[in-house]
Amino acid sequence: MASNKGKTAGSGSRGVGKEKDVRRKEAARPPGWAYGLRQLYDSVVEEPLPDSFKDLLSKLDAKQ
Protein backbone atom coordinates (compact mmCIF):
# COMPACT_ATOMS: atom_id res chain seq x y z
CA MET A 1 0.00 0.00 0.00
CA ALA A 2 1.37 3.35 -0.89
CA SER A 3 1.09 5.21 2.36
CA ASN A 4 0.24 8.82 2.20
CA LYS A 5 2.74 10.99 4.00
CA GLY A 6 0.57 14.02 4.34
CA LYS A 7 -2.10 12.01 6.02
CA THR A 8 -2.72 14.29 8.97
CA ALA A 9 -5.52 16.72 8.56
CA GLY A 10 -4.86 20.40 8.83
CA SER A 11 -2.93 22.91 6.83
CA GLY A 12 -2.98 21.59 3.35
CA SER A 13 -0.19 23.68 1.97
CA ARG A 14 3.08 21.84 1.65
CA GLY A 15 5.84 24.32 1.13
CA VAL A 16 9.17 22.72 0.33
CA GLY A 17 11.23 25.28 2.16
CA LYS A 18 10.52 26.89 5.47
CA GLU A 19 7.50 25.30 6.98
CA LYS A 20 5.64 27.15 9.63
CA ASP A 21 4.20 23.92 10.90
CA VAL A 22 6.70 23.07 13.61
CA ARG A 23 5.14 19.77 14.48
CA ARG A 24 5.53 18.49 11.00
CA LYS A 25 9.11 19.65 10.88
CA GLU A 26 9.95 17.73 14.02
CA ALA A 27 8.57 14.56 12.62
CA ALA A 28 10.47 14.96 9.41
CA ARG A 29 13.89 15.66 10.81
CA PRO A 30 15.34 15.35 14.28
CA PRO A 31 16.14 18.70 15.91
CA GLY A 32 19.74 19.83 16.24
CA TRP A 33 20.01 18.88 19.88
CA ALA A 34 19.02 15.25 19.25
CA TYR A 35 22.44 14.62 17.82
CA GLY A 36 23.99 16.41 20.80
CA LEU A 37 22.10 14.19 23.20
CA ARG A 38 23.43 11.12 21.52
CA GLN A 39 26.92 12.58 21.61
CA LEU A 40 26.60 13.37 25.27
CA TYR A 41 25.87 9.72 25.93
CA ASP A 42 28.49 8.39 23.55
CA SER A 43 31.17 10.69 24.94
CA VAL A 44 30.76 9.02 28.33
CA VAL A 45 30.65 5.54 26.80
CA GLU A 46 33.94 6.24 25.10
CA GLU A 47 35.70 7.55 28.19
CA PRO A 48 38.42 5.28 29.51
CA LEU A 49 37.14 3.30 32.47
CA PRO A 50 38.41 4.67 35.80
CA ASP A 51 40.55 2.29 37.82
CA SER A 52 37.93 2.16 40.55
CA PHE A 53 35.73 0.14 38.20
CA LYS A 54 38.48 -2.23 37.23
CA ASP A 55 39.19 -2.77 40.91
CA LEU A 56 35.56 -3.39 41.68
CA LEU A 57 35.12 -5.82 38.79
CA SER A 58 38.17 -7.80 39.79
CA LYS A 59 36.94 -7.99 43.37
CA LEU A 60 33.60 -9.40 42.28
CA ASP A 61 35.15 -12.73 41.38
CA ALA A 62 36.47 -13.17 44.87
CA LYS A 63 32.97 -12.65 46.23
CA GLN A 64 31.19 -15.55 44.62
Partner 1 sequence: MATQKRTAAELADFKRELTQVVPHLRAFARGLCGRPDMADDLVQETLLKAWAAQERFEPGTSMRAWTFVILRNAYLTDMRRNRFRGEFDENVAERILTAPAGQEEPIHLSDMRRALLTLPPERREALLLVGAGGFSYEEAANICGCAVGTIKSRVGRARAALNTMLDEGDIPKRAIDDVNAHRALLEELDLVAAGNGLSEPTR
The b/e string for 31-56 (b: 16+ C-beta within 10 A; e otherwise) is eeeeeeeeeeeeeeeeeeeeeeeeee
Q: Is 51 in the site for partner 1 (CB under 8 A)?
A: no
Q: Is 56 in the site for partner 1 (CB under 8 A)?
A: yes
Span interacting with partner 1, options 3-11, 12-20, 55-63, rule CB under 8 A: 55-63
Q: Is 36 in the site for partner 1 (CB under 8 A)?
A: yes
Which residues contribute to the site for partner 1 (CB under 8 A)?
22, 26, 31-47, 49-50, 52-53, 56-57, 60-61, 63-64
